[in-house]
Amino acid sequence: AQTAGRAALRLADADALPFAFGNFVDHVKRYAGEVQKLADDLRAETDRINQRVEDGVYALAADPTEHLVLPESREAVPHINFAPLLNAVEALEQQAAAFDRRLKASVSADGLPADQLAALNRVLIDSERALTAPEGLPRRPWFRHHIYAPGFFTGYGVKTLPGVREAIEERQWDEATAQIERLAGVLNNLASLLITKS
């Protein structure tokens, strides 16, 4: 309660909203690394399971008195092209660093003129909207944010980069590729906003 109260007071009294994009970019970079690792881990797990099926390990370990369905070979996990996402994160990182430098320099001076201050706050407000897409997420178009959203199977438990992450988890490779492209577009939108409005 104290943290939320102080944050509310800080935001209410700020001429320029005290947000920096560098921290956000650090989080997005970490999330991008997580989804890459998720794909790599899923590939390694699939290879192990398929090798055990091929070697007959599950059949040998099965209890003949029980009627169990033995695991079958799974479709191999392809190498997914994360380059559009990584390029978008890099572009955003550069623009965010430049924006944060300009913001710090202008705010640490004698303050900003009213029109520049309004434009700055407009960027900060529009930045969150730039992270959404009107078509929303697969199978739930009402969730439009592409960085954070409740998981499809987790109730209100958050998923980061939900379109990409859930496509990989569900082994929907074409959807994962499409979601990477869409996410890259969203991040490029934010980078463009930081260029044009700063």
71-85 pLDDT tens trace: 889 999 999 999 999
Matching residue, tokens 């969203």: 186
pLDDT score for 198: 52
Low-confidence ranges of the chain (pLDDT < 70): 107-111, 197-198
Task: Say what the pTM is.
Answer: 0.86
- The number of beta carbons lying within 10 Å of the beta carbon of residue 194 is 23
Positions of E strands within 49-168: 148-150, 158-160
> For residue 99, how many C-alpha atoms fall within 13 Å in the half-sphere facing its CB?
28
- Give the C-alpha separation, 25 to 183, whole Å: 14
Outline where DSSP puts E strands in the chain: 148-150, 158-160
Residue 100's pLDDT is 86
Q: What is the Cα–Cα distance from 19 to 69, expressed in whole angstroms?
A: 54
Distance separating alpha carbons of residues 131 and 189, to the nearest angstrom: 8
| pLDDT given at position 24 | 93
- Give the amino acid at 83: A
Q: Show Cβ contacts of residue 71 under 8 Å, excluding neighbours closer than 6 positions.
A: 49, 52, 53, 58
